[in-house]
Amino acid sequence: NAGVTQTPKFRVLKTGQSMTLLCAQDMNHEYMYWYRQDPGMGLRLIHYSVGEGTTAKGEVPDGYNVSRLKKQNFLLGLESAAPSQTSVYFCASRLAGMSTDTQYFGPGTRLTVL
């Protein structure tokens, strides 16, 4: 099992450009999450999904959109990138049901917006 994978690993964008980050999991998990990590701020939840075809806003959703068309994939889109979106983005997935189920994390995508 590859677990949770993220594509790409690094990306540099110019202000106003758009891009999509892909998260894939092969563990048949129902729940998937997108976080951003910034120095001194821990991880903050952007959007999440509790199943195929469903999405919900997290703590910092502005400027991002998501889609969960397939159970194994969760896409994070930036429509018009801004320097404030420079961050490390992590995807995670969780089995379902039990709130004590572990979230498994991908290796991260480092995004720089110039």
Residues that bind other proteins (CB under 8 A): 4, 31, 33, 40-45, 48, 50, 56, 58-59, 90, 92, 98-100, 102-108
Q: Which is nearer to other proteins, 16 or 41 (CB)?
A: 41
Q: Which is nearer to other proteins, 18 or 56 (CB)?
A: 56
Quote the least distance from Cβ 15 to other proteins, whole Å. Answer: 26
The bridge status of strand 31-38 relative to strand 4-7 is unpaired
Asked if the peptide bond before residue 61 counts as cis, ω within 30 degrees of 0, the response is no
Q: Which is nearer to other proteins, 12 or 96 (CB)?
A: 96
Triad 111, 34, 7: Cα angle to 5°:
50
Q: Which is nearer to other proteins, 16 or 107 (CB)?
A: 107
> Tokens 């994939």 correspond to what residue?
73
Nearest to 36, CA basis, from 90, 94, 76: 90
**R_g of the chain, CA atoms, integer Å:** 13
Quote the least distance from Cβ 65 to other proteins, whole Å. Answer: 19
Quote the least distance from Cβ 38 to other proteins, whole Å. Answer: 10
